[in-house]
């Protein structure tokens, strides 16, 4: 079980899900994917998390991103649990949930927490870009629910990074000013970008690019 690193190609797999069998790469297509695991069905933290992801349906779509949940429980359990998620979260679960009883996906993505006394998956998140590369990973313990607003924010940042020679400052949010890469001179930045401000020779802000 190898640990995935940033820039690695996300492993492909075929799995049974609540939306039928999928081949991950074919399912993802040429967009982004948010692959996230949870320890078990019919558990309190997981119920709130999957409900939150469902409520963000339009936000994922706006970013050309698909979401895919993974659990080591069986497909029948997933289907029954969806009713609880929808009742608690107030939104329909329209994304697939992988039934990973053989731990194939969990092993591929190193989602099993050693020393925890069981073989359920921890709360991992993988952001995978249109080229199939792992661009961001997050791992939370089983007791701490994830902040999916942060997952969206990180996805926004990665998409801005890919749009030009830009990075993003601390606590950056979509639409805020970005940082011009040090490889671009201030003179060139002033010609190419809008609202350029030089704070330090190595720290220059510019207006966020528009689609």
The overall pTM is greater than 0.85: yes
Range of weakest confidence among 78-82, 86-90, 110-114, 177-181: 110-114
Task: Confirm whether 106 is domain-assigned.
Answer: yes
* 154 is a domain residue: no
Asked if the structure places residue 68 within a domain, the reply is: yes
Residues 42 and 123 in one domain: yes
Residues 94 and 192: their CA atoms lie apart, in Å, by 41
Q: How many CA atoms lie within 13 A of 194 on its CB side?
A: 6
Residues 170, 121: one domain? no
Do 130 and 178 share a structural domain? no
Query: Does residue 125 sit within a domain?
Result: yes
Task: Report yes or no: 205 and 196 within 8 Å, Cβ to Cβ.
Answer: yes
Question: Would residue 43 count as lying in a domain?
Answer: yes
Same domain, 116 and 178: no
Quick one: 56 and 129 in the same domain?
yes
Nearest Cα to Cα of residue 127 among 151, 163, 98: 151
Q: What is the CATH number of the domain that holds 180?
A: 3.30.1020.10
Instruction: Please indicate, yes or no, whether residues 118 and 44 belong to a single structural domain of this protein.
Output: yes
User: Is 64 a domain residue?
Assistant: yes
Question: The domain containing residue 188 runs over which residues?
Answer: 163-206
- Verify that 111 and 167 share a domain, yes or no: no
Residue 118 has pLDDT above 60, yes or no: no
Count of domains observed in the chain: 2
pLDDT for residue 123: 86
Q: Answer yes or no: is pLDDT of 1 > 70.
A: no
State the pLDDT at residue 61.
98
153 part of a folded domain = no
| Cβ-based burial of 165 (10 A; exposed 0-12, middle 13-18, buried ≥19) | middle
Instruction: Tokens 């069998």: give the residue.
Output: 21
Q: Averaged over 40-60, what is the pLDDT?
A: 96
Dump pLDDT digits (tens) for 152-168.
999 999 999 999 999 99
**Cβ atoms of residues 137 and 108 within 8 Å:** no
Return the beta strands (E) in 38-195 as ranges: 65-71, 97-99, 123-128, 134-140, 166-167, 178-180
What pLDDT shows up at residue 89?
96
Q: How are the residues of the chain apportioned to helix, strand and coil, as percentages rounded to the nearest 5? A: 30, 25, 45
Determine contact, residues 150/132, Cβ cutoff 8 Å. no
Residues labelled as active-site residues: 46
On whether residue 171 sits in a domain, the answer given is yes
pLDDT at 120: 57
Whether residues 129 and 183 share a domain: the answer is no
- CA-to-CA distance for 190 and 199, rounded, in angstroms? 13
Question: Is there a contact between 13 and 104 (Cβ–Cβ < 8 Å)?
Answer: yes
Query: pLDDT of 15-32, one tens digit each?
Result: 999 999 999 999 999 999
Here the CATH number for the domain that contains residue 41 is 3.40.30.10
- For the chain, how long is the longest CA-to-CA vector? 61
Asked whether the predicted pLDDT for residue 119 surpasses 90, the reply is no
Mark which of 110, 145, 180 sits at the end of a domain. 145
In the chain, what is the straight-line distance between the N-terminal and C-terminal CA atoms, in Å? Answer: 39
If asked whether residues 73 and 177 sit together in one domain, one would say no
137 and 198 assigned to the same domain: no
Based on the fold, state whether residues 97 and 168 are members of the same structural domain.
Answer: no
Q: What is the pLDDT of residues 169-207, one digit of tens each?
A: 999 999 999 999 999 999 999 999 999 999 999 999 999
């Amino acid at each position: 079980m190898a640990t995935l690193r940033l820039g690695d190609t996300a492993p492909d797999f075929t799995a049974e899900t609540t939306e039928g069998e999928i081949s991950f790469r074919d399912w993802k297509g040429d967009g982004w994917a948010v692959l996230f695991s949870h320890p078990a069905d019919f558990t309190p933290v997981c119920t709130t998390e999957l409900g939150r992801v469902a409520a963000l349906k339009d936000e994922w779509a706006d970013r050309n991103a698909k979401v895919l949940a993974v659990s080591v429980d069986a497909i029948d359990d997933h289907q029954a649990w969806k009713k609880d998620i929808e009742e608690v979260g107030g939104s329909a679960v329209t994304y697939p949930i992988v039934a990973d009883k053989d731990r194939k996906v969990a092993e591929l993505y190193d989602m099993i927490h050693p020393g925890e006394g069981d073989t359920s998956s921890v709360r991992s998140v993988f952001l995978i870009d249109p080229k199939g590369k792992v661009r961001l990973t997050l791992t939370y313990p089983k007791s701490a629910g994830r902040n999916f607003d942060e997952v969206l924010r990180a996805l926004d940042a990665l998409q801005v990074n890919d749009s030009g020679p830009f990075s993003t400052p601390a606590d950056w949010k979509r639409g805020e000013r970005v940082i011009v890469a040090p490889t671009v001179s201030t003179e060139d930045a002033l010609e190419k970008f809008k609202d350029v401000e030089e704070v330090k020779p190595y720290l220059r802000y510019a207006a966020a690019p528009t689609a």
